[in-house]
Structure formats: C-alpha cells, structure tokens
Amino acid sequence: MWPMHFWMGGMWILPVIMLIVMLFFLSSFFGRGDFRPPWHDSHKHQESNKGSETALEILKKRYAKGEISKEEFERMKSDLLS
C-alpha cells in the first residue's frame, strides 16, 4: 500500500512545479527586464530610420540656414543627384 500512497500523494506536485517554471520563464521573457521579444523592437527600427537624414535633406537644411550659397547648393545638389 505504501507505493500507491506515494504516487497518489505526490502526483499533484509535478503539474504545480511545471506551472511555476512556465510562469517564471514567461515572466522573464515578457517581463520587466531588458530582453524583449523581437516584435517589440520593430518600432525602434522604424524610429531610427526616421532619425537618419539623406544627404539631400541635410544639404537643403544647410541652404535654408544660410550656411552655403545658392551656387554651392546647386553644385552639391547636382553632384548628389548624378
């Protein structure tokens, strides 16, 4: 009778332990840490592309600020577009 009592009394602990382990891994994967799933970084990639300017945009800003003359702007623009 003793082995039967052991299995009946101890079988419930395995699903409980598995549930605790699964909750631990899920909380560490989706949780408060620095690690995030790959789909959480997609907006960061799009924002970083918005921050990078093309050479023509930089040239237009420099011309608008008055850092370069119209002749320099036209020459540099033709160099960039050719």
CB proximity list for 44: less than 8 A, separation 6 or greater: none
The residue range of the domain holding 68 is 50-82
Domain count within the chain: 2
The confidence band for 71, taking pLDDT boundaries of 50, 70 and 90, is very high
- What is the reported pLDDT for 59? 93
d(CA 7, CA 28): 32
Amino acid at the residue 46? Q
Helix (H, G, I), strand (E, B) or coil at 32: coil
* pLDDT per position as a tens digit, 15-67: 889 999 998 887 777 765 555 655 665 555 555 555 678 889 999 999 999 99
0.85 exceeded by pTM: no
71 belongs to a structural domain = yes
17 belongs to a structural domain = yes
- What is the reported pLDDT for 15? 83
CB proximity list for 76: less than 8 A, separation 6 or greater: 59, 68
